[in-house]
Amino acid sequence: MKAYYFDNVEGDQRLPHFDSALPPVSQSDLAKYGVLYWHIPIDQDGNWEQAIDQIAAERSYKNRDIINVSKTGLGDLYESKIKSFFEEHMHEDEEIRYILDGAGFFDVRSPQKDEWIRVHVDQGDLLVLPAGIYHRFTLDEGDYIKAMRLFKDEPKWTPYNRSADTDANQHRVTYLQTFAA
């Protein structure tokens, strides 16, 4: 995992958009915004599965599925899905992703300065975004990611695109009360 401030330069969203003049973002900086991270290498012995099961039990994740985001995996829906994933949105639940293969970028909004922080994730990275945080996702130049999604309840993925209504959503308000101080 590598995290840094997004450079906001126009261009392909799949490019790194890294500017070395901007300060780096550490794992502890991300935690101040409620973003949690673990690196759990995938091994042949299945130790990674035990580690995921342990975190799932500790955090009350009861369900999981696998998503394959690629041209092959999504077929005719690929372009529309990639576009919708990159729309700034929030969820009323945590977004939990364990990367099994491939790589991509999660961009999260810092609540204090309203700036994008780009988080590059690849195989073995587990990222948890808190309910109410504005974020977006895109693949990197590899155009492929296979991820395990974990859920506290029944699997669902309901995005609420950023708007005045979403700003007033109770999950967003609670997020700001908790992490924008």
Residue type at position 114: D
Confirm or deny that 171 is annotated as ligand binding.
no
At residue 89, the 3 state secondary structure works out as strand
What does the angle CA 22 – CA 99 – CA 134 come to, to the nearest 5 degrees? 50
With tokens 């970028």, the residue in question is: 105
Domains and CATH numbers, the chain: 2-179 (2.60.120.10)
Cβ(96)–Cβ(150) below 8 Å: yes
pLDDT string in tens for the chain (181-residue length): 999 999 999 999 999 999 999 989 999 999 999 999 999 999 988 899 999 999 999 999 999 999 999 999 899 999 999 999 999 999 999 999 999 999 999 999 999 889 999 999 999 999 999 999 999 999 999 999 999 999 998 877 799 999 999 999 999 999 999 998 7
Confirm or deny that 135 is annotated as ligand binding.
yes
d(CA 88, CA 96): 17
Confirm or deny that 17 is annotated as ligand binding.
no
Q: How many CB atoms lie within 10 A of CB 103?
A: 17
With tokens 């995938």, the residue in question is: 42
Confirm or deny that 154 is annotated as ligand binding.
no
Output the pTM of the full model.
0.95
Residue 56 tokens read as 């799932």
At residue 151, the 3 state secondary structure works out as strand
